[in-house]
With several copies, the nearest count.
Chain A
């Protein structure tokens, strides 16, 4: 049966609003190319991973990007911001269908949301870089939500050329 009922409670709804705002800020940082600020959305021990739906469905662990912990998040941010060679581009996220599944006793929030990521190389047409779903675990640190886990699972099996920025 549909899960509508499960999400009916006020608390989950308030969490949804908070997560929507979190995701909006998260996307705004990436869309502005401020990749150096991106690790701040995560906890010290966070897992961040981008993987295709074929891997996710088959429980294969590989990630296009696979970061364990703040160090690897910062190294990824640094590499993209400073050392990696790629053509300039604009990115824009549309995040919708945000859903809060549960809050466990430790206060960890299980949630997901759908995203569409549009990419524009500065002299070409806008393309759909990928569509997918965030599978998230949030915790609250000092009143603020932070991501303990974000698995970006994309439907778009075939990546065009390269995926530069985190999703």
Chain B
């Protein structure tokens, strides 16, 4: 995180008035205000949203549990002995200890280390040591009922092995929440095949969490910033591509179809793309091979599922990314990379090799994370106070080309509604 951000005093609460130019100007304070951040936690992460918490493949058997987050709130995702998945707060009902410590584990119960109050895998309080005291001395009051002191339990849903949780008591179904346009490419990754976890990355980004959504709703940057994408035609002006937005504007799918070999980029486009190089060649091109394995016209789909999930299908490298906000100026990314059960040894290695594209050390990942850091620095430290989102004019929603910021505007239309801005 930039020193300045660390050492500067908190800016005085800005007047939270949205600029008049509607959605083509974004005020800096949505990225920096602690007040806005607190409201986001309440209205978005703890509001009417489905938050990604785990893949079922991470907790395959009864008794398996995992630490996770909903927004910034630590939770535990556990599979009870009957196989049902539960999500509850990682906070003891007694004095408040964050009781579950390992990232992953397996057990028949969850015991708080401090005074050993004991919970089942649904988060129900099952035992309080010396509840009746000793020799009729002490212990909990007669009217103390275990069932009144369980861990705060969240609503849970799963789709094809992906687990979501919500603080909202009357959430609509996940299917209604994301809508058919998004569900289609989501299912292309998850339906019908069981996942095999290949491993984790974790990294922080010193930027506001919304920038990660914007980055993946911004096909314009993809064709300019990423030399790899453009030079090798993974996502480039000229490819068949689309930026799909759901009707509410909050979810998205950036999609592109890679041509069999080097892309046909017209001379005009080349001059526009500094990152483009005809001569750039790989010593080992096979790592960019695309093994067709999905029922989809797209070779790449990057899905942003509001508010905290990214589903990555970049050729054959697959993963989910969980966004954990940590205040307005930083977020944590947890990447879970996977393949499928039954992948051949060679296919697994192909996925691993292709993994070099993504993650905090990926050819693309490095550039996106650095770019977001630069933006937060610019916003925190500068005198100016808005940014411009005018590409594609004021159009919103899905578009079939790359040179637009329509999806970002759609997201902020939804955001302003929910946030009352």
Contacts and interface: CB of A to CB of B under 8 A. Distances in A.
Q: Is there a contact between chains A and B in the complex with CB atoms less than 8 Å apart?
A: yes
Interface of A: 50-52, 54-55, 58, 60-72, 74-76, 78-79, 83-88, 122-125, 157-164
A70 B287 CA distance: 13
Most buried by B among A66, A69, A161: A161
B280 interface: yes
Sort A-B residue pairs by CB-CB distance and give the 4 closest, nearest first: A71-B284, A62-B199, A60-B199, A83-B227
B113 A85 contact: yes
Contacts of B184: none
Contacts of A64: 201, 359-361
B359 A69 contact: no
Interface in B74-122: 101-103, 113
B321 to A, nearest CB: 13
Contact of B367 (A52, A86, A88, A159): A86
A61 B370 contact: no
B59 to A, nearest CB: 14
A71 B282 contact: yes
29 contacts: A52-B201, A60-B197, A61-B199, A62-B199, A63-B352, A64-B360, A67-B353, A69-B284, A72-B287, A75-B287, A79-B228, A83-B275, A85-B225, A85-B371, A86-B366, A87-B373, A122-B101, A122-B102, A123-B3, A123-B103, A124-B3, A158-B3, A158-B202, A158-B204, A159-B204, A160-B204, A161-B370, A161-B373, A163-B361
Interface of B: 1-3, 67, 101-103, 113, 197-206, 225, 227-228, 231, 275, 277, 280, 282-284, 287, 332, 337, 348-349, 352-353, 355-356, 359-361, 363, 365-367, 369-371, 373-374
A78 to B, nearest CB: 8
A67 B357 CA distance: 12
Contacts of B203: 158-162
A111 B381 CA distance: 42
Contacts of B206: 160-161
A162 B355 contact: no
A163 B348 CA distance: 23
A79 B366 CA distance: 11
Contacts of A162: 203, 360-361, 365-366, 369-370
Most buried by A among B113, B332, B361, B363: B361
A48 B12 CA distance: 48
Contacts of A65: 356, 361
B102 A88 contact: yes
Contacts of B374: 87
Contacts of A51: 199
Given A69-B284, A87-B374, A160-B206, 15 more contacts: A60-B197, A63-B199, A66-B356, A67-B356, A79-B228, A79-B363, A83-B280, A85-B367, A88-B101, A158-B3, A159-B203, A159-B361, A161-B206, A162-B360, A162-B369
A75 B103 contact: no
Contacts of A86: 366-367, 370
A122 to B, nearest CB: 6
Nearest to A83: B227
Nearest to B3: A124
A50 B199 CA distance: 12
A11 to B, nearest CB: 35
Given A79-B363, A83-B275, A161-B370, A124 B352 contact: no
B366 A74 contact: no
A160 B48 CA distance: 31
A162 B227 CA distance: 17
A161 B1 CA distance: 8
Contact of B366 (A54, A63, A84): A84
A162 B231 CA distance: 22
Contacts of A124: 2-3
B205 A161 contact: yes
Contact of A50 (B280, B361, B371): B361
